[in-house]
């Protein structure tokens, strides 16, 4: 573990910047879902799953939640592998997306992880679901959030590449491009009606 104490205010600021930049790059709109995977152990300089840090979780949450509320985004906090990477969300998300079915479990630091545990205690009417199809995601510490993203994921190159000692990756999603060489993807570029297609 690192000898150098973490600047918790910096973590909060970095979390805020990450979410806002991702929203801009990925053209996220109100009601969209962002999955958050976080290893507070990695942020603190330890190996994932070995040294969960409640203060790190609180600092990151303090950056993500207000930004998400301002942008109108739903956050889904990924639990650790002991809960099969289930997700902590707010009841409001289930009202908007009723096909996500809640399960019965309470994430705790040793079974769920420090970040998911903190989110469960701080979100309004927190619920846990097993799967989600998020519009975008932020992964702090290589926690592997890809299973919870919609197809097709596009890497987002953001200004914050690390939080504490943890590597940061992010992605947004877009609809699949189908149809091949003759397909048109932008409405203003539609061909005239003289072409044939059988």
pLDDT digits (tens, 9 = 90+) for 159-183: 999 999 999 999 999 999 888 878 8
Q: What is the average pLDDT across 91-99?
A: 95
pLDDT above 50 (res 2): no
pLDDT above 50 (res 1): no
pTM: 0.89
Q: Which two tokens stand for residue 23?
A: 């929203």
Q: Which residue has the higher pLDDT, 195 or 49?
A: 49
pLDDT above 80 (res 136): yes
Instruction: Supply the pLDDT for residue 28.
Output: 98
Q: What is the average pLDDT across 12-28?
A: 98
* pLDDT range class, residue 23, cuts 50, 70, 90: very high
Q: Which two tokens stand for residue 117?
A: 């545990």
Strand partners, 127: 89
Q: What is the average pLDDT across 16-34?
A: 98
pLDDT above 60 (res 192): no
Task: Determine phi and psi for 23, rounding to 5 degrees.
Answer: -60, -40
**Residue from 168, 133, 143, 141 nearest 18 by CA:** 168
Complete DSSP assignment for the chain: --SSPP-HHHHHHHHHHHHHHHHHHTT--TT-EEEEEE-HHHHTTS-TTSS--HHHHHHHHHHHHHHHHHHTPEEEEEP-GGGTT-EEEEHHHHHHSTTS-EE----BTTBB-HHHHHHHHHSTTEEEES---BSEEEEESS---GGGBPSSEEE---S--EETTEEEEEEEE-PPP-SGGG---SGGGPPPTT----
Complete DSSP assignment for 62-114: HHHHHHHHHHTPEEEEEP-GGGTT-EEEEHHHHHHSTTS-EE----BTTBB-H
Q: What is the average pLDDT across 38-53?
A: 86
Q: What percent of the chain clears pLDDT 90, i.e. is strictly above it?
A: 80
pLDDT above 70 (res 98): yes
Task: Determine phi and psi for 160, rounding to 5 degrees.
Answer: -95, 110
> Which of 55-69, 88-102, 180-194 comes out lowest in average pLDDT?
180-194
Domains located in the chain, CATH noted: 8-177 (3.40.50.10360)
pLDDT above 80 (res 151): yes
Q: What is the average pLDDT across 75-91?
A: 97
């Amino acid at each position: 573990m690192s000898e150098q104490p973490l600047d918790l205010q910096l973590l909060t600021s970095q979390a805020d910047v990450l979410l806002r930049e991702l929203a801009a790059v990925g053209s996220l709109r109100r009601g969209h879902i962002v999955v958050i995977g976080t290893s507070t152990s990695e942020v603190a300089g330890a190996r994932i799953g070995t040294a969960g840090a409640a203060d790190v979780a609180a600092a990151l949450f303090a950056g993500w939640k207000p930004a998400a509320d301002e942008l109108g985004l739903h956050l889904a906090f990924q639990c650790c592998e002991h809960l099969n990477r289930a997700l902590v969300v707010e009841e409001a998300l289930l009202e908007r997306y009723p096909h996500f079915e809640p399960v019965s479990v309470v994430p705790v630091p040793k079974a769920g992880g420090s970040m998911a545990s903190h989110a469960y205690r701080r979100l309004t009417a927190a619920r846990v679901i097993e799967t989600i199809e998020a519009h975008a995601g932020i992964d702090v510490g290589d926690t592997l959030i890809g299973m919870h993203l919609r197809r097709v994921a596009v890497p987002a190159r953001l200004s914050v590449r690390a939080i504490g000692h943890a590597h940061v990756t992010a992605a947004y999603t877009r609809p699949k491009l189908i149809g091949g060489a003759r397909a048109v993807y932008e409405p203003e570029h539609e061909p005239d009606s003289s072409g044939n297609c059988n």
